[in-house]
Amino acid sequence: MGGHRRRFPIAATASSPTSSNTLRLLTGSSRVPAVRTEPTPTAMPSQRPDPETFVRRHQQALWRYARGLGAPSDLAEDLVQEAFVTTLRRFRGGPDAAAFVFLRTTLRHLWLRQRRDDRRREELLVEAADRLWERTQSDLDGGARWLDELRACTERLEGRAREALDRFYGRSQSRAEIAAAFGMVENGVKTLLQRARALLRDCMDRRQEDQS
């Protein structure tokens, strides 16, 4: 596979000098050989793609596909990398077009799973906040005690985790805006918010247990 094959410049018509010389070189005669009609042999199973060549060939298109699905730039890079790792491990060989379909399908599943995981983390935070509301009987005081509990948990957060929550929820800034303010990539802000939400949720659950 790695050897360099000699290429012969076969011309468009057999009557040209180039064509005659090529035929003489290949067959010992300048006559055009008769075409024999034979069944097409069964194709041999394709080998797995060479990783470096495969990535170089499909990386840009796959990144564009990820962006088209809605993934932020830095997350798109992560999804592309994971899709390549999965495909190179699981794809058993076949035409290049089939390999790219496998890549796209893998990336789409990874993106949808990421979205589900994000939604579930948000749901867990909402559920914890709702439990805290009920525990503090905040229907009776307009949410005053509940807000106090939330503030107490927020104050337990440190540094950028606390500021990120304040910017995201308090000031309605986007992840891109927070990333610019922090000098971070957008996916880093996403991870920071996930960690901050988890800490906030754990704090709310602990305060409920202390009050029970």
Domain end call among 81, 114, 147: 114
Same domain, yes or no: 108 and 140: no
What is the model's pLDDT at position 105? Answer: 93
What does 147-202 look like in DSSP terms, one character per residue?
A: HHHHHHHHHHS-HHHHHHHIIIIIS---HHHHHHHHT--HHHHHHHHHHHHHHHHH
Structural domain harbouring 73: 51-114
Say what the pLDDT of residue 39 is: 37
Measured in degrees and rounded to the nearest 5, phi and psi for residue 189 equal -65, -40
Cβ proximity of 65 and 107 under 8 Å: yes
What is the phi/psi pair of residue 89, to 5°?
-85, -35
Structural domains in the chain (count): 2
Q: Residue 163: which pLDDT band, with cuts at 50, 70 and 90?
A: very high
Better-predicted residue by pLDDT, 101 or 44: 101
pLDDT at 48: 62
Pairwise pLDDT comparison (29 vs 126), residue with the higher score: 126
* Mean per-residue pLDDT, 96-119: 89
Q: With a cut of 50, say whether residue 5 has pLDDT above it.
A: no
Flag the least confident range among 10-24, 112-126, 183-197. Answer: 10-24
Residue 11, domain member (yes or no): no
Q: Is 46 inside a domain boundary?
A: no
Q: Please name the helix (run of DSSP H) or strand (run of DSSP E) that holds residue 61, with its range, or none.
A: helix 51-69
Residue-level pLDDT at 200 = 87
Q: How many CB atoms lie within 10 A of CB 128?
A: 20
140 is a domain residue = yes
For residues 101 and 99, what is the distance between their CA atoms, to the nearest angstrom? Answer: 5
Q: What is the average pLDDT value for the chain, to the nearest integer?
A: 75
- Give the pTM: 0.55
pLDDT value for 2: 43
Domain boundary among 114, 145, 163: 114
CATH of the domain at 183: 1.10.10.10
